[in-house]
Amino acid sequence: LEEAAFQLQQIFRIDISIALNILGIESMRAGHCRVAFTCFKLAADRGYSKAQFNVGLCYEHGRGTEKDLEKAGFYYCQAASSCHPMAQYRYARHLLQHGPGSHRDRHHKAVALLEQAAGAGVTEAQAYLGVFYMRGLQPQEKRGLKYLQLAANSGDAQSRYHVGVCYEQGLGVQQNLAEALRHYRQSAAAGNRQARERLQQ
């Protein structure tokens, strides 16, 4: 009986958090940012990862509350620890730009989080990792190209452009100008200005 009561409490707690988060989303859409932030915060403090992510966004962009990057990082970290993919991406970016601790530790943790988010299908994380591996102190071109292709296949025009550059310059793949042109054309058709300029050249 105690176990059943505990299970009911857990379900009730989760349901309230889900309801608060939905109410927050609807309030944000209606332009009631302060109300939205309050709803997200109540759900986040109950441990609901989607709401923790939303609180992080509010603090990062100053919606419904004062802008506070440290608090944004805290809530992204909370959500990321519950395997929320977009929070993993945002927290990784936070670590690389604002995080505490040694550069090496932050870098290592951020890359691990980006890898997890990219593996979960977050296009932004795939694109970020693609460029990151291409431009690092010790470039890993094949690895970078793999992530750029994943992001490009998810519709990211900028990553499609970068894949074209890889084929044009032979980065992580054998040089192939026809393939480079194909990627540039696809990127340009999706509205990428750099790709259009490259095609003209």
92 and 10 belong to one structural domain: yes
Q: Is the pLDDT of residue 19 over 90?
A: no
Q: How many structural domains does the chain have?
A: 2
Predicted pLDDT at 7 = 63
User: Pick from 50, 85, 120: which residue ends a domain?
Assistant: 120
User: Pick from 120, 140, 174: which residue ends a domain?
Assistant: 120
Q: Is the pLDDT of residue 120 over 60?
A: yes
87 and 128 belong to one structural domain: no
Question: Phi-psi category of 120—alpha, beta or left, where left has phi over 0 and alpha has psi -120 to 50?
Answer: alpha
Q: Is the pLDDT of residue 18 over 80?
A: yes
15 and 107 belong to one structural domain: yes
> Looking at residue 90, which CATH number applies to its domain?
1.25.40.10
Predicted pLDDT at 135 = 86
53 and 128 belong to one structural domain: no
The type of residue at 37 is F
43 and 108 belong to one structural domain: yes
Question: The domain containing residue 93 runs over which residues?
Answer: 1-120
111 and 18 belong to one structural domain: yes
Structure tokens at 142: 């094949």
Q: CB neighbours of 122 closer than 8 A, spacing ≥ 6? A: 85, 86, 88, 89
Q: What is the pLDDT of residues 41-61, one digit of tens each?
A: 999 999 999 999 999 999 999
105 and 131 belong to one structural domain: no
User: Pick from 120, 137, 152: which residue ends a domain?
Assistant: 120
